[in-house]
């Protein structure tokens, strides 16, 4: 299958390469010509073709249904690309936004493109810089027809069953078998990014719990404590032992252990933790629904506070963000 891909940053380039590994053909464009050249060179089997502009990319797509995937930063850049590329597509074509777009923007864009006969699909994509090898967990929204057409693309990008044991009772009626492969059609346009938004809100809370726990342990040798109650604990060893059969074992803990093995003090990280928007949007959605989310709210506010002075725990947060997404918060 052929697909156009606009945006070849940390994830876009890897998505293009992974698709070529599975026999798909990609036409790629980025405003940086060097990124286009690099992606074409990394592609397998000569299955990548570079484009010089969005218009050039669309012109190089063949077949009855043209498919274009945007992998761009949320906001004005994506908005401009949706309007530009969407205007070049015709009835029955599909435009995908795989970035971290606010789901209410998806609702508006889907309605606009529907008037032109273009299907809009929002794909919440998780996997960060590791997705090329591990695959991407994807939550997507759009029409059933578009979802069916895109299945070969999404199944190639997804991680597959891997070595994760099957969940009991998953064979009952009403459950989507694609979820076991690591991708899921969540519902109409906007629903994919909504689910990914909440996923990232949960991620904030999980990361904050790890950060606070390690901070408590790191501070156990504080001079504020009676001398006989002080422990000097090795953070790298604790992170490692928790990876081995602990209830809290997870990929976030794996990344924490990796960072601490290199430098237990995490002195290369500033601890000034940024937020990319999804945490805020999740809390806004919770307020609209009158659903209490105290953990996510506290995690977001802690990130705000970290930018005016920070703790060891916030360096742990920085290390995790760098590990899974390449977010640079280093000194």
Contact between 330 and 318 under an 8 Å Cβ cutoff? The reply is: yes
Compute the average pLDDT of residues 121-132.
91
For residue 16, give both structure tokens: 């293009």
Nearest CA-CA partner of 325 in 265, 278, 282 = 278
Token pair 């996510």 in the structure block, residue: 296
pLDDT for the residue 85: 98
Q: For residue 327, what pLDDT is reported?
A: 80
Residue 328 has pLDDT above 80, yes or no: no
pLDDT, position 276? 82
pLDDT of residue 330: 60
Q: Which two tokens stand for residue 11?
A: 């994830």
Burial class of residue 217 in the structure, from the number of CB atoms within 10 Å of its CB (0-12 exposed, 13-18 middle, 19+ buried) = middle
Let me know: does 98 contact 16? Beta carbons within 8 Å.
Answer: no
pLDDT, tens digit, for every residue of 245-276?
Answer: 999 999 999 999 999 999 999 999 988 898 88
Cα–Cα separations (whole angstroms), residue 205 to 28, 80, 297: 36, 32, 8
Q: Residue 265: what pLDDT? A: 94
Other beta carbons within 10 Å of 110: 22
For residue range 141-200, what is the model confidence (pLDDT) as tens digits? Answer: 999 999 999 999 999 999 999 888 999 999 899 999 999 999 999 999 999 999 999 999
Average pLDDT over residues 20-45: 97
90 by DSSP, 3-state: which? coil
pLDDT at 212 over 70: yes
pTM listed for this prediction:
0.91
For residue 311, pLDDT over 90 is answered with no
Task: Judge contact between 146 and 94, C-beta under 8 A.
Answer: yes
Q: What is the pLDDT of residue 258?
A: 96
Contact between 237 and 244 (Cβ < 8 Å): no
Q: Known catalytic residues?
A: 196, 203
- 99 pLDDT above the threshold of 90: yes
Do residues 10 and 128 lie in contact, with contact meaning Cβ atoms separated by under 8 Å? Answer: yes
CA distance 42 to 25: 13
- At 317, is the pLDDT very low, low, confident or very high (cuts 50, 70, 90)? very high
State both tokens at 321.
């963000």
């Amino acid at each position: 299958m052929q697909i156009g891909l606009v945006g070849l940053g940390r994830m876009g380039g890897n998505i293009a390469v992974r698709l070529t590994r599975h026999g798909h053909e990609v036409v790629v464009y980025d405003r940086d010509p060097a990124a286009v050249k690099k992606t074409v060179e990394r592609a397998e089997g000569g299955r990548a073709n570079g484009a010089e502009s969005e218009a050039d990319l669309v012109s190089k797509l063949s077949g009855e249904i043209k498919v274009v995937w945007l992998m761009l930063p949320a906001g004005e850049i994506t908005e401009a690309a949706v309007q530009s590329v969407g205007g070049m597509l015709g009835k029955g074509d599909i435009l995908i936004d795989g970035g971290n777009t606010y789901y209410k923007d998806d609702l508006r864009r889907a309605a606009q493109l529907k008037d032109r006969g273009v299907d809009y699909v929002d794909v919440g994509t998780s996997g960060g810089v590791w997705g090329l090898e591990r695959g991407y967990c994807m939550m997507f929204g759009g029409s059933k027809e578009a979802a069916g057409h895109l299945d070969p693309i999404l199944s190639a990008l997804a991680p597959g069953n891997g070595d994760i044991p099957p969940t009991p009772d998953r064979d009952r009626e009403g459950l989507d078998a694609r979820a076991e492969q690591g991708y899921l059609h969540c519902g109409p346009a906007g629903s994919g990014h909504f689910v990914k938004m909440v996923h990232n809100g949960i991620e904030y809370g999980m990361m904050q719990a790890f950060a606070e726990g390690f901070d408590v342990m790191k501070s156990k040798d504080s001079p504020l404590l009676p001398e006989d109650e002080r422990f000097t604990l090795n953070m790298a060893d604790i992170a490692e032992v928790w990876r081995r059969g602990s209830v809290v074992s997870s990929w976030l803990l794996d990344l924490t252990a990796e960072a601490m093995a290199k430098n237990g003090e995490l002195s290369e990280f500033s601890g000034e933790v940024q937020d990319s928007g999804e945490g805020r949007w999740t809390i806004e959605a919770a307020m609209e629904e009158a659903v209490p989310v105290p953990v996510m709210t506290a995690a977001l506010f802690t990130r705000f506070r970290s930018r005016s002075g920070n703790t060891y725990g916030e360096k742990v947060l920085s290390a995790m963000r760098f590990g899974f997404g390449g977010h640079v918060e280093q000194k």
